[in-house]
A and B are shown apart, each in its own frame.
Chain A
Amino acid sequence: MLVAGGTDLYPKLKRRQFDPDTLIGLSGLEELRRVTGDARSGLRLGALVTLAEAAEHSALVQAHPGYAEAAGLVSSPPLRNVGTIGGNLCVDTRCNYYDMTYEWRESVGFCLKKDGDICLVAPGSPRCWAISSSDTAPVAIALGATVTLVGPEGERELPVSAPYRDDGIEYLAKRPFEVLVSLRLPPTDGVRTAYAKLRRRGSIDFPIAGAGVALKTDGHCVEWARLVMSGVGSHPVEAPAAGEFLAGKQLTAEVIAAAAELAAKPAKPLDNADLNHFWRKRMVRVLVEQALERAATQDQGVLGRG
């Protein structure tokens, strides 16, 4: 099993959610710690760049503030000093029947995702409903970023969205021994990004819903927009209908509200994270609106805010 920062994996090892025979630390790979490029050419982030470095990296903040913001909203400061951007993309799906100690899980009865054969959230379900909990994946996907994976069969670059699967257990389709080595973010080229995160507290907590937005305008109207949500399914959930709806429209309050309505439709929070899931479902719309509003106002003056 591979480990980068270990901020998510180590607690899970202590709770016996994984039982690998061997851990392979990636931290010695110095070349995966670099950020290269700029807003004009696009940026390449080594997988071991820490979330704190990403959040504070001036070229990155300038190029894709929404991505940097998302990195800066992950967990808490000491964990962002260790947790990596690669780790956050690959972060294990979460469920409050699963992210518990061995003894607790044994007591309630083991679940599908580890040691058991039923889903405790949806007992009739043949699949696992653990939640995708990456803060950075939504913006990266919305941006059309790519990741490079290196394995015994060589190197391949693919869209960030490609490896994710809508399955709480097999949420990431990497080939055996494949390592995510870098994330490539496209040139800024007028693209605006934003991320809105929902959590109970202002720090430490994982997202219980999140919305990442990337969009480009011609000065008046949206040329294209992509919206991706975190915390509402077993994978980062895209909302293509909302993106299509936005194309060609001015970002007025009404348009934003209508797009958010569309975006929230595919979101399916279940009762396996903090706070009530019906409420979380309602909040998705608000989060998408917030993200769109923030993306719209990144550049003062051009876009309609009526």
Chain B
Amino acid sequence: MNKFDLRLARPYAPQQFAMLNELYRDVQREALRLRVNGEDVEILVPVHKTLLEVLREDMGLTGTKHGCELGECGTCTVLVDGRPQLSCLLLPIQLGRNEITTVEGLGGTAQLTPLQQAFAELGAAQCGYCTPAMLLAATSLLRQEPKPTRQTIREALAGNLCRCTGYVKIVEAVELAAERTRHG
């Protein structure tokens, strides 16, 4: 649980635990309106809760995964105004009006996006755990750079770790999706 825990930032002596419920009630909560996948969502969250936690725990958007919760693996990538950012290091209170996109905001099973289609066809997802993050980072890349070179793809996705694929099929899938988007 690499979580923010501002109210418990200092280790408490045992006698202080009696006060924990009090502390808990004192947690500052904010009513926020977030725009996620094109929908406005109103939520009441403790100010120290990360976007990752809010998405997964409060909004049921469990497509966003986590591998470290410390900004070291890229697995929790979401798009904020179209750019990949790490949801484990974002506080919703700092986001406000930004447009947040998670993997659930790409195509659904009924209508895959070209990237999702290419990932599926080429076997770019094995265990699939890093896949949502890869898709989002690649989506952002192709919007900015419809004809990326291999090197550009590698550099754009270099904040996202994968342990299954050796990245080979992911790079190929991004290339395929780029080509199809250009010619389709």
Is A123 interfacial (CB 8 A cutoff)?
no
Q: Once bound together, how far apart are the Cα atoms of A189 and B93, in whole Å?
A: 43
Does A11 lie within 8 Å of B70, measured CB to CB?
Answer: yes
Nearest CB on A from B172, distance (A): 19
The interface on chain A, measured as residues whose beta carbon lies within 8 A of the other chain's beta carbons, has a size of 27
Binds A, one of B71-79, B113-121, B123-131: B71-79
What 1/0 flags go to A54-76 for Cβ under 8 Å of B?
00000000000000000000011
CB-defined contacts of B83 to chain A, threshold 8 Å:
52, 81
Is A202 interfacial (CB 8 A cutoff)?
yes
A16-B9, A203-B158 are contacts. A81–B85 as well, Cβ < 8 Å?
yes
Nearest CB on B from A152, distance (A): 24
Is A10 interfacial (CB 8 A cutoff)?
yes
CB-defined contacts of A23 to chain B, threshold 8 Å:
6
Is A6 interfacial (CB 8 A cutoff)?
yes
A14-B70, A203-B159, A204-B158 are contacts. A78–B86 as well, Cβ < 8 Å?
yes
Q: Interface majority SS on B: helix, strand, loop or mixed?
A: loop
- Partner pick for B137 among A27, A78, A79, CB 8 A cutoff: A78
Does B2 lie within 8 Å of A78, measured CB to CB?
Answer: no
Q: Once bound together, how far apart are the Cα atoms of A292 and B4, in whole Å?
A: 43
Is B55 interfacial (CB 8 A cutoff)?
no
Does A76 lie within 8 Å of B74, measured CB to CB?
Answer: yes
Does B4 lie within 8 Å of A77, measured CB to CB?
Answer: no
What 1/0 flags go to A16-53 for Cβ under 8 Å of B?
10111001010100000000000000000000000010
Count A-B contacts at CB 8 Å.
Answer: 84
Is B21 interfacial (CB 8 A cutoff)?
no
Q: Which residue of A lies closest to B144 (CB)?
A: A56
What 1/0 flags go to B97-115 for Cβ under 8 Å of A?
0000000000000000000
Nearest CB on B from A60, distance (A): 18
Q: Once bound together, how far apart are the Cα atoms of A56 and B94, in whole Å?
A: 24
Q: Once bound together, how far apart are the Cα atoms of A176 and B14, in whole Å?
A: 34
Is A7 interfacial (CB 8 A cutoff)?
yes
CB-defined contacts of A101 to chain B, threshold 8 Å:
2
Q: Once bound together, how far apart are the Cα atoms of A81 and B159, in whole Å?
A: 11
Q: Which residue of B lies closest to A203 (CB)?
A: B158
Does B77 lie within 8 Å of A78, measured CB to CB?
Answer: yes
- Partner pick for B71 among A10, A20, A102, CB 8 A cutoff: A10
CB-defined contacts of A10 to chain B, threshold 8 Å:
4, 50, 71, 88-89, 91
CB-defined contacts of B10 to chain A, threshold 8 Å:
19
Is A13 interfacial (CB 8 A cutoff)?
yes
CB-defined contacts of B9 to chain A, threshold 8 Å:
13, 16, 18-20
A27-B94, A203-B159 are contacts. A78–B74 as well, Cβ < 8 Å?
yes
Nearest CB on A from B46, distance (A): 13
Does A76 lie within 8 Å of B158, measured CB to CB?
Answer: yes
- Partner pick for B159 among A15, A19, A102, A204, CB 8 A cutoff: A204
Q: Which residue of B lies closest to A23 (CB)?
A: B6
Q: Which of A59-110 contact B (CB under 8 A)?
A: 75-79, 81-82, 101-102
CB-defined contacts of B93 to chain A, threshold 8 Å:
25
Nearest CB on A from B2, distance (A): 5
Is B22 interfacial (CB 8 A cutoff)?
no
Is B175 interfacial (CB 8 A cutoff)?
no
Q: Once bound together, how far apart are the Cα atoms of A66 and B126, in whole Å?
A: 39
Q: Which of A175-217 contact B (CB under 8 A)?
A: 202-204
Which residues does A use to contact B, with CB under 8 Å? 6-7, 10-11, 13-16, 18-20, 23, 25, 27, 52, 75-79, 81-82, 101-102, 202-204
Supplied contacts A76-B159, A101-B2, A204-B159, 14 more A-B pairs, CB within 8 Å: A7-B86, A10-B71, A11-B70, A14-B69, A14-B70, A15-B2, A19-B9, A75-B159, A77-B137, A78-B74, A78-B85, A79-B86, A81-B83, A82-B86
Across the A-B interface, the 10 shortest Cβ-Cβ residue pairs: A76-B159, A203-B158, A19-B9, A11-B70, A78-B84, A78-B159, A81-B83, A10-B89, A77-B159, A14-B2
Instruction: Enumerate 18 A-B pairs (CB-CB under 8 Å) in ascending A order.
Output: A6-B89, A7-B71, A10-B71, A10-B91, A15-B70, A19-B9, A25-B93, A25-B94, A76-B158, A77-B156, A77-B157, A79-B86, A81-B85, A102-B11, A202-B158, A203-B158, A204-B72, A204-B158
